Every structure is written in structure tokens, then in C-alpha cells.
Amino acid sequence: MSDVNSQVPVKSEASQQSSPTTRDNFVMDVAHCYLDGNVDAVEFCPHDSFHRILSASTYTLQEGDQPRRSGSISLFNVDADAGRLELFHRVETAGIFDIKWSPVGAIVGPLLAQADADGYLRLHHLECRSDGSAAGEQSDALLDAGNFLKEVTSKQVSSSMCLCTDWNPSATSISVGLSDGSVSIISLLDSKLEIQQEWKAHEFELWATSFDTHQPQLLYTGSDDCKFSCWDLRDCPSNLAFQNSKIHKMGICCITKSPSDPHTLFTGSYDEYLRVWDVRSISKPVNETSICLGGGVWRIKHHPSLPDLVLAACMHNGFAIVKIEGEKAEVIETYCKHESLAYGADWQRGEICQKWQKGERWWLVLQSRFDRFQELESSSPPIPSIPPQATRLATASSSATAATGVSAKKAVKTTTIRSSSGKRGGASGGRDTNFY
């Protein structure tokens, strides 16, 4: 593993053109920079001292007589108000399928978990600058060179590939889903990772694993076998609390529990549906609400302060912001500008935005798709009563550019990561069977 810190090359361009979306809003390209590899996950750091830091991971299959899966993690400094996105650190790794920051409020952190194609779970610590300030606090220039992301521990989970990962709320355990359908529960104690439990949970690739944030003894999993399962970790081996194999018509891509409602859970599937579940009937979720988003729902992220808003990365159909009210789900904003697969999405917690004094609402939507392109853009979604703070979003796609944008209207600011090479489409909803 090698670090690439110093002055990472950044190419930026400005664009004065804006294009209307399907909802009569505007999206404006502003600048871009290039990354190597196929970006498949993006995560804003949720910890307050590092709220401007965005991480993006890549996966590239090097074909040939001896195929090799390579990847990287890149860190960006995002200043939405200034319309600036700066790549300041990159570490080369094995091919990565998923990354997750440790949760806010945990004793440890900020730590970035990496699930990679070599079957390893790796943890990276986000270092501070030598002057003691947080790496994300400087936005007027590229940050100083240095090891801002440092690997502190790792564990080979399996000879199979690690496809997904999630932290429990206290950051003492991490779940990992594997390409052979297994799931592992790994403890973190004194900077050491130890496998506590592992079992065969599904028949095919396990793309989704999620701790219940309100009942962390429960773990949800989803797979290409179309089964949505819940496991009770208090038993060893873990007991199957419930399993639903009838609702999802294709493989399950993502599962996430509502951070504000202990009874609500979301699933995304290759069948293009975002589903909202009430899990109070634990044997069989009831009051299912579903909405077709026109593409496989690969990732779902909840807004950090508005409990009824979620962001979805919808593979062939770009990105969607969905408003959930009771049993009603409505798409209130979409972004489909780039013709590449949308795989990653995240919100960024933000500061008080001075532009609210002028009646403007600002978001940053950082969109990453399965390509090397990263782009920051602006649009104006019709979302009422957004609190006076700048929230941001992240996503991933397949060409490698980044842009920053400002809109003269009420705006949602977006950033996209794409890559010019790499495919991911075919089996189980469009994945290329040669992807891994």
C-alpha cells in the first residue's frame, strides 16, 4: 500500500451553462478534476471537526494473464460556499467495494473502514495537521502534504471478497458482507480487529449489511438471492429473527435503518424499488411503502437533519431525492445528467450558511457514480422548510472528474465523481459479470 500525498494534480474548469431538470430546476457544471480508477463509493466525514472532508474509493479490475484488483482512497476538501473541491490526499489500496466512517459519538474516531477485494477489512485513522488544526478546516488552498489518512489495523476476513461493511452505533463492532454469501461480525478493541461471529447468511453475493441503530443487537442483510434477513447477534451462532424472500423481485443492494424513527427501515433493490418498512411486526414487516426510481437502488442515505428526506443512487437512472411522509413516497428532485451508472451517495453535515440571510437554501449534493468523474454542480429543488444550515451530499460514477457550482437561485449544490473506464452492469440487475 502506498501514499500519494503532496500536490495531487487537479484540473478545473468553469462552466456558465445550466440545464433544466425534469422539475424546472437548474443544474450547473462549474469545475472538475480527474481521478484514476472506477469510483464506487463516497462518504463525507460526519465528525464535526472534519465535516469538509470527503472520501472516495475506487475499484479497477486490471485484466490480463494475471488479473489484479486495484483501488484507492482519495480525500477531498469541500468548500461549498466558495465552490471549491480540492483533492489533497490519496492512498493506493486493493480494489475497494465499500467504505464507512465511524459513527459520531463513538469513543474512537474518526476511522474509515474499508471492505476490499482481497478479503480484508482495513481501518484508517484521519490524522490532523501538524499545527493541530483539523485537516478539513483549511479551504483557501491545497492542504499540506502528509499522511492524513493512516491505516491503523487490518484483518483478513475471508478468501472471498468483502463487498460491504457497517459500524454498530458504538463503533465496537463492524459487520462485513462477503461475495460467497457469508457475513462476519468483527470486534474492535484496543486497535485490534477480531472475528467474533461468521456464518453463511445467503446463497449468493451479500451486498447489504446494516446494524439496527436503535437495537444494535440486530443485523440486517440482503443479497442477490432476493432475501431480506434480520439476525439476532445475542445468539451464537446468530439466530435468524426473520427473513422475507417474496417482496424483492431482484437482488437487494442496500439496507438502512432510519436514524430518527426506531420502527422504519429502507431497502433498495435491482428491481428499481425503494421500499419503506415498518419493522414493529418483526416476523414480517408491515405497511410497506415502495416507489419505483427507474434504476437499481444501489445506495440510500438519510438527510442528517430532515428525517423525511433520503438520497438514492439509482444505477442507470442517476440520483433521486425522495420525500417520505407516512405511507407516501415522492421523488422531489432527480439528477441524470451523466450517462454513467450511479453507485454512491452521501450527505454532508454543514455550517450555518450566510446566504440564508438572502432567503436562499443551499445544499451540496456530491454525486459519485461508477466512473472516475467528480463534479460539483448546482440546482434548485422545491424543498420547503429546510433548516438554516448547509447540508451536502456525495455520490459516485464511471469517468474521473470533479466540479464546483453556485446557483443564483435557491440551490442544491452537487459534486459528482466519475471514471472514464470500468463497467458495472449485467447480472442481478445490470452488473457486468466481469466486474470482479
Task: Answer for the pair 41, 96: CB distance below 8 angstroms, yes or no.
Answer: yes
pLDDT > 90: what percent of the chain? 46
Measured in whole angstroms, the distance separating CA 418 from the mean position of its chain's CA atoms is 14
Question: Residues 29-40: what's their mean pLDDT?
Answer: 66
Lowest mean pLDDT among 47-51, 99-103, 128-132, 225-229: 128-132
In a domain, 432, yes or no: no
Q: Give pLDDT, residue 66.
A: 85
Lowest mean pLDDT among 165-174, 216-225, 236-245, 427-436: 427-436
- Higher pLDDT residue, 88 or 256? 256
Lowest mean pLDDT among 14-18, 178-182, 383-387: 14-18
In a domain, 352, yes or no: yes
In a domain, 430, yes or no: no
Backbone angles phi, psi at 228, to 5 degrees: -110, 115
Question: Residues 402-421: what's their mean pLDDT?
Answer: 42
pLDDT bin (cut points 50, 70, 90) of residue 358 is very low
pLDDT of 157-211, one tens digit each? 999 999 999 999 999 999 999 999 999 999 999 899 999 999 999 999 999 999 9
Q: Give pLDDT, residue 25.
A: 47
In a domain, 42, yes or no: yes
Question: Residues 34-54: what's their mean pLDDT?
Answer: 85
Looking up cell 437512472 gives 317
**Boundaries of domain holding 396:** 11-424
Backbone angles phi, psi at 171, to 5 degrees: 60, 30
Residues 6+ apart with CB under 8 A from 250: 226, 269, 270, 271, 296, 428, 429
Looking at the predicted structure, is the pLDDT value of residue 240 above 90? yes
pLDDT bin (cut points 50, 70, 90) of residue 310 is very high
Question: Residues 373-398: what's their mean pLDDT?
Answer: 47
pLDDT bin (cut points 50, 70, 90) of residue 119 is very high
Question: Residues 355-367: what's their mean pLDDT?
Answer: 38
Question: Residues 304-319: what's their mean pLDDT?
Answer: 92
Question: Residues 325-352: what's their mean pLDDT?
Answer: 80
Q: Give pLDDT, residue 380.
A: 41
Looking at the predicted structure, is the pLDDT value of residue 28 above 60? no
Kind of pairing between the strands at 328-335 and 68-79: unpaired
Looking at the predicted structure, is the pLDDT value of residue 363 above 50? no
Q: Give pLDDT, residue 210.
A: 98
Please report how many Cα atoms fall inside a 13 Å half-sphere around the Cα of residue 44, on the Cβ side: 33
Query: 18: closest CA among 403, 355, 344?
Result: 403
- Higher pLDDT residue, 287 or 425? 287
In a domain, 436, yes or no: no
pLDDT > 70: what percent of the chain? 66
Query: 71-80, 199-208, 405-414: which has the highest mean pLDDT?
Result: 199-208
In a domain, 138, yes or no: yes
How far is the C-alpha of 25 from the C-alpha of 16, rounded, in Å?
15
pLDDT of 85-106, one tens digit each? 788 899 999 999 999 999 998 8
Looking at the predicted structure, is the pLDDT value of residue 4 above 50? no
Q: Give pLDDT, residue 27.
A: 44
Kind of pairing between the strands at 149-156 and 120-126: antiparallel
pLDDT bin (cut points 50, 70, 90) of residue 263 is very high
Residue 318 maps to which CATH number?
A: 2.130.10.10
Looking at the predicted structure, is the pLDDT value of residue 5 above 90? no
Task: Report the SS3 class of residue 173.
Answer: strand
- Higher pLDDT residue, 148 or 282? 148
In a domain, 78, yes or no: yes
Mean pLDDT of the chain: 76
Residues 6+ apart with CB under 8 A from 310: 266, 274, 300, 301, 302, 303, 321, 322, 324
In a domain, 188, yes or no: yes
pLDDT bin (cut points 50, 70, 90) of residue 283 is low
Please report how many Cα atoms fall inside a 13 Å half-sphere around the Cα of residue 278, on the Cβ side: 9
Q: Give pLDDT, residue 130.
A: 57
Residue type (1 letter), 4: V
This prediction has a pTM of 0.82
Q: Give pLDDT, residue 177.
A: 99
Looking at the predicted structure, is the pLDDT value of residue 308 above 80? yes
Query: Total domain count for the chain?
Result: 1
Looking at the predicted structure, is the pLDDT value of residue 334 above 50? yes
- Higher pLDDT residue, 398 or 316? 316
Q: Give pLDDT, residue 326.
A: 79
- Higher pLDDT residue, 357 or 278? 278
Query: 227: closest CA among 212, 208, 199, 214?
Result: 208
Q: Give pLDDT, residue 284.
A: 64
